[in-house]
Amino acid sequence: MRRRYLLTTLLAFCFSLFAWLNFAPAAHALGGPQPPLNQPAPEFTLPTNTGDGTISLADYRGKWVVVYFYPKDFTSGCTLEARRFQQDLPKYLNRNTEILGISADSVDSHAKFCDSEGLKFPLLADTDGSVSKAYGSWMGFISLRHTYVIDPEGILRATFTGVNPAIHSAEVLAKLDELQQAG
């Protein structure tokens, strides 16, 4: 019993120390290797329920892009995250920024989800997980909750892997402001 307590205490101390030191593996997260910062973001073209039926990252050259991966339409965390992005959509648009949501759900599921939640930004169907894999955000059959900020030249500038849906949009906006002021 005492041995288990000591081991648990030691593990808790190590995790606390890593958090205090802001330790984060640079190249990996749950889901696989992350694309490198300050390099071109992985390109993609995926089906969507909006516009001409497909969207490519290249369609957004000249704009900032927030690409957020999420597990499943109509689940509580994913709904909350989408609502927050929708609530803040005017702030993103004022910053020359577009939002793209990606999950393994179908185009039909995305259409129903957008209609149900009043979402005015595109959701893309990565049904085979190929784009999620390219971004290190794939866990077997679902996309993980990761977000990427891409600049107007298509360069990956920020990665979020520990996402709290309730506050995430505010975090992304703050990072976007920081990046835009630095550039």
What is the arithmetic mean of pLDDT over 8-27?
41
Residues assigned a catalytic role? 78
* In the predicted structure, residue 4 carries a pLDDT above the cut 60: no
Continuous H helices in 71-145? 76-87, 89-94, 107-117, 130-134
86-124 CB burial, b ≥16 within 10 A, e <16: bebbeebeeeebbbbbbbbbebebbbebbeebebebbbb
The CATH architecture annotation of domain 24-182 reads 3-Layer(aba) Sandwich (3.40)
| CB 55 within 8 Å of CB 46 | yes
Q: In this predicted structure, which of 15-19, 77-81, 106-110 has the lowest mean pLDDT?
A: 15-19
Chain centre to alpha carbon of residue 31? 12
CA 43 – CA 32 distance, rounded (Å): 17
User: What is the pLDDT at residue 6?
Assistant: 46
User: What is the pLDDT at residue 1?
Assistant: 54
How would you classify the pairing of strands 64-69 and 146-150? antiparallel
User: What is the pLDDT at residue 183?
Assistant: 74
Instruction: Say what percent of the chain tops pLDDT 70.
Output: 84
User: What is the pLDDT at residue 10?
Assistant: 42
- What single-letter amino acid sits at 151? D
What is the arithmetic mean of pLDDT over 85-113?
97
Q: If pLDDT is split at 50, 70 and 90, which confidence band does 154 have?
A: very high
Closest alpha carbon to 39 in 151, 116, 123: 151
Domain boundaries, the chain: 24-182
Q: If you average pLDDT over every residue of the chain, what do you get?
A: 88
CA 32 – CA 82 distance, rounded (Å): 24
CA 182 – CA 94 distance, rounded (Å): 17
DSSP 8-class letter at 43 = P
User: What is the pLDDT at residue 2?
Assistant: 55
* Start-to-end Cα distance in the chain: 55
